[in-house]
Structure 1
Amino acid sequence: MYIRLSKGNTSKFTKVYLVEGYRDENGKSKQRIVKSYGNLEELEAKDPNILQKLKDEAKNMTKNQVNITLNLNSSNDDMEVDQNYGYFFLERLYEDLEISNFFKNKMNNKKYVFDVDQVFKLLLYSRILNPASKKATVENRNQFFEPFDVTLDSVYETLSLMKEIKGDLQLHLHRKITETQGRDTSLIFFDVTNYYFETEIENELKKVGVSKEKKRTHIVQMSLAIDQEGLPVGYELFSGNTHDSTMLIPSMIDMKERYKMGRVILTADKALNSGKNLAFLVSNGDGYIVSQKVRGSSKAFINKILEDDGYVYNDSKTFKIKSFLRERSTKDENGNDVLLKEKVVAFWSQDFDSREKHKRELLEDKINEYLTNPSKYKASNRHGIKKYLKEIEVDTITGEVEDKKTILKFEQDKYERDVALDGYYALVTSEIDMPDSDIIERYRGLWRIEDSFRVLKSDLEGRPVYVRREDRIEGHFLLCFVALLMTRLLENKLCNKYSIRKIQEALKNATCRKITSGIYSLNKQDDVFRTLENAYDVSLNYKNVRIEQIRLYRKEIVHNVKN
């Protein structure tokens, strides 16, 4: 910016203008008046040094890229649509992870009529900022500061391609995270979930099963592993009719071979605590920390848990813990005997006990209702109470067992035993030398993977799935996996101060609107976005701004280029 003095042939006054140079949309160099200060003679009458001050101010504006106050005649209705610039931070992560280089190297010998990298960027950024169907994503491709030249056909072709490279891309990302974050895979959290579809056409992946939302529909199963920082390590897809417990072994084999991992201590919940799974881990030199179901276990195990001997209480008597060693024999996947040497960590929590007691009050109300009115007891409402009520066919006059009328018998002993177990929890581990407190602490980290599934399903809207073909289903979930990784990286960058949902909203709301040639109006941003800017040492906290300033801001974020 600079100061221009202009004096007409017939005027005795010198006009003072603030002028800036810019390039129009065709790249031509032009100038425009940003502000008129009035007549120089009148300004100098008030301040003899005003001209030098204005020149210094203009120079400072250029140097610091400050906000420009504009007097605009156009109404808001005449302005163009909002364009997102929050995705600049996603571009930075994309560059840090060198995903463009991955595609460049991977596609080196293959020719496509479209840019795979650009299509992947559009799908990825849109999945984070504005999750939608693939068709809607293409229709909204102009929402970005620099629109993507992408067609729906190229999107579907890219999704199909993702099936071929999903393992290689996961490996590439793992290496970059290890290089930049110092990833530690000695402890891995592992769990499985499923996703339902809105289409009913079946293929090798889509099979009818019961979804986690209790819907009987076509689903696909997913296993997911994350590290101690909550960053996803790898995933696998399985057909919808695959049992949860059978996914651990193939997932671990694939991940360890692909990543060349050393010894892993795997942490999982009781759904994956099968003898075959634990035997597999031990036989391959790995370890485990898993929850152990207390109710429904052997009488000897329950008695050991309830036995007060060995428990250590905290000062307030609201928590107690003990551990003991045991050996047991199980079978591996080939039917061979494997001896498991384990530590059992048992603990009781008053908070946990209180929560279960509250649930039990509701359970008792249902039990009493059905004991009083057995005709209300049906297959559809037996969940949670079936084990306490036994159906007996009797003759109400003679008392003989006949096919006359059904009465319900309350299994008092079973109920009282379960009441006694309220508040108790047990963990089983191969790490017999690990302190009890460390075992509990590591297991508690399992919430991170449960939260990751929530993010995948809700924040990133990974389900329901709308694509039909198997290869495109694979592509959809690869996108979701990379989106989860990038949002977790942003969450960690902000020291876990904000949820992924809040970060998404902050990025989504970072929009600008073209109000005249080369000049944009910026939406006011929230504290989350300002915190993100501070984390990357950038700022665009203005009302109106030149296009060159936005482009410089982008360079500062993506390429760490400072003015």
Structure 2
Amino acid sequence: SSEHAMPDWIRRTALGDILQEDFSELADEALYRNLDRLHPNREAIERALAEKEKTLFNLDDTVYLYDLTSTYFEGQATANPQAKRGYSRDKRPDCKQVVVGLVVDRDGFPKAHEIFDGNTQDRRSLDQMLDALEKRTGKKLGATVIVDRGMAFEENLEQIRKRQLHYLVAGRQSERNQWLEELENDDGWEQVHRTPSPRNPFQKKTRVEIKRQQKGDIVYLLCRSEGREEKDRAIREKQETKLLADLHRLQQRVAKGRLKKENKIQRAIGRLLERYPRVARYYELSYDAVQKNLSWNELTDKKATAKKLDGSYVLKTDRQDLTAGEIWRTYILLTRVEDAFRDIKSPLMERPIFHHLQNRTQTHIFLCVLAYHLLAAIEHRFLQAGVHSSWGTIRDQLRTHQVISIVLPEDHQGRVLTIRKATTPEPEHRQIYATLGITAEVMRPLKSWQVSAGSDEKNSKS
């Protein structure tokens, strides 16, 4: 996806032979100009693609999955007003970034994407994203929108309801705490039947239990996960260790007089609370300005409650027609967006961004989304054929089908013949091409004559 590296990459491939195009003079400036031409047509292309894919693959349009990621810049990007510092999912808080929102359907096909300022909070993006989705796909009354807890605020749920859509979200921690008694009660739970992914048949799935509850028009699904319990505990312990280490360092700075002004001390405390929000709530911090002493107390009751809730989470929806198992399996589809972001960032290589202009940044990301459309279509076609291969596996298998050059000795006229031809496809290559509905004969042999030095005859190709 790097426009700067694209000319060199193309010349190292057989793309010119296959397409019978001469890319020897291709330069990155031409690609940059094409970005500028493409920019005003992004929405129309995305809308047409969504409609075409729905028809071509008979896609379901009753469930939409929405999530956000960020992608960072190399350089200051001063000419891009959207480039700002914010929460970095790439763990690059030192770099400016933009936030990318993506909606996919239950089969993983992109439906709409939007690019937000780099400091955009998750909860502030949903309304604009729903507008974009409606522009790309039209009104889909009764469809279900799935988002994670970062957007599960009441104002966002109200926006979903106003559009006559349904929602399925992960409840926020405050809501989970309200269900502590039911989460601890071992009655009424059912185990989710989880099968390993066909791509990883030997994967061991951890135990997940669910319990359906209803309050008024809202259905809550209480969930307990063994795998998540271990993860929650490990994250909390790691964060707590870091918080306490930073508190001790701050305490020493205050005690030794390296940090004297109370307002600066309070700001330092505030930064620690922001840095470790998951565990800072279990401690009460205080600063004695007279004694110049920073101290803290562990809130044992809060911490004990957190331990009890390890591995548990709550889903909520206004879909009263769904069973407990259907709610859980539908929400788990949200991993399709995470998979999409993982593919867009690597192997489609969206990041880092070297463009300085806003329109080129937006079109660069759009090209990565276009590439993901193709990736999703390829994997879906294989899935329809009963082959559970990822794009990475398919690409690696095709690496051995190559184009070679055969150079024959000079003839009696002093000419050298070069033949460019594809190697004979192996059975696995033929299976891939057949699944995609394309011929295994990727190109016809190309002959070129080169006249040795001193001859007046011209080079020729056939």
Change in CA separation of 1:427 and 1:528 when aligned onto 2, cut-off 3 Å: farther
Contact 1:312 1:320 in 2 (8 A): yes
2:183 is matched with: 306
CA distance in 1, matches of 2:77, 2:134: 34
**CA deviation after TM superposition for structure 1 residue 172, in Å:** 1.1
Contact 2:430 2:440 in 1 (8 A): no
1:350 is matched with: 226
Aligned partner (choices 363, 372, 390) of residue 484 of structure 1:
372
Matches within 5 A, 1:157-168: 157-168=33-44
**CA deviation after TM superposition for structure 1 residue 402, in Å:** 4.7
Contact 1:141 1:148 in 2 (8 A): no
With normalisation by structure 2, the TM-score equals: 0.75
Gaps of 5+ in 1: 1-126, 128-132, 328-340, 395-400, 550-563
Change in CA separation of 1:318 and 1:174 when aligned onto 2, cut-off 3 Å: closer
Aligned partner (choices 444, 465, 479) of residue 332 of structure 2:
444
1:511 is matched with: 402
Aligned partner (choices 303, 307, 312) of residue 419 of structure 1:
307
Mean CA deviation greater in 166-175 or 463-472? 463-472
Contact 2:4 2:28 in 1 (8 A): yes
1:96 is matched with: none
Gaps of 5+ in 2: 194-205, 254-267, 408-416, 448-462
What is the DSSP-based 3-state SS (H/G/I as helix, E as strand, rest coil) of the residue aligned with 2:228? helix
Change in CA separation of 1:370 and 1:198 when aligned onto 2, cut-off 3 Å: closer
Contact 1:230 1:448 in 2 (8 A): yes
What is the DSSP-based 3-state SS (H/G/I as helix, E as strand, rest coil) of the residue aligned with 2:60? coil
**CA deviation after TM superposition for structure 1 residue 352, in Å:** 2.5
Aligned partner (choices 210, 215, 226) of residue 326 of structure 1:
215
2:393 is matched with: 502
**CA deviation after TM superposition for structure 1 residue 256, in Å:** 1.3
What is the DSSP-based 3-state SS (H/G/I as helix, E as strand, rest coil) of the residue aligned with 2:218? strand
CA distance in 2, matches of 1:208, 1:489: 34
CA distance in 2, matches of 1:155, 1:373: 51
CA distance in 2, matches of 1:393, 1:292: 34
Aligned partner (choices 203, 218, 228) of residue 96 of structure 2:
218
1:197 is matched with: 73
Contact 2:83 2:118 in 1 (8 A): yes
What is the DSSP-based 3-state SS (H/G/I as helix, E as strand, rest coil) of the residue aligned with 1:426? strand
Amino acid at match of 1:278: L
- Matched residues, number: 395
Q: Does residue 260 in structure 1 map to residue 163 in structure 2? A: no
Mean CA deviation greater in 350-359 or 522-531? 522-531
Contact 1:326 1:343 in 2 (8 A): yes
- Output the aligned Cα RMSD: 3.4
Q: Does residue 285 in structure 1 map to residue 164 in structure 2? A: yes
CA distance in 1, matches of 2:238, 2:362: 43
1:175 is matched with: 51
Change in CA separation of 1:521 and 1:344 when aligned onto 2, cut-off 3 Å: same
Contact 2:422 2:445 in 1 (8 A): no
With normalisation by structure 1, the TM-score equals: 0.63
Aligned partner (choices 390, 394, 402) of residue 284 of structure 2:
390
Change in CA separation of 1:183 and 1:352 when aligned onto 2, cut-off 3 Å: same
Change in CA separation of 1:200 and 1:372 when aligned onto 2, cut-off 3 Å: closer
Contact 1:206 1:239 in 2 (8 A): yes
Change in CA separation of 1:365 and 1:214 when aligned onto 2, cut-off 3 Å: closer
Contact 1:519 1:546 in 2 (8 A): no
1:135 is matched with: 4
CA distance in 1, matches of 2:375, 2:252: 49
Change in CA separation of 1:528 and 1:198 when aligned onto 2, cut-off 3 Å: farther
1:229 is matched with: 107
**CA deviation after TM superposition for structure 1 residue 386, in Å:** 1.8
Question: What's the CA shift string for 1:463-493, capped at 9, x where partnerless?
Answer: 1111222221222122111100101111122
Change in CA separation of 1:364 and 1:190 when aligned onto 2, cut-off 3 Å: closer
What is the DSSP-based 3-state SS (H/G/I as helix, E as strand, rest coil) of the residue aligned with 2:160? helix
CA distance in 1, matches of 2:33, 2:342: 28
What is the DSSP-based 3-state SS (H/G/I as helix, E as strand, rest coil) of the residue aligned with 1:185? coil
Q: Between the two proteins, what is the percent identity of the paired residues?
A: 21
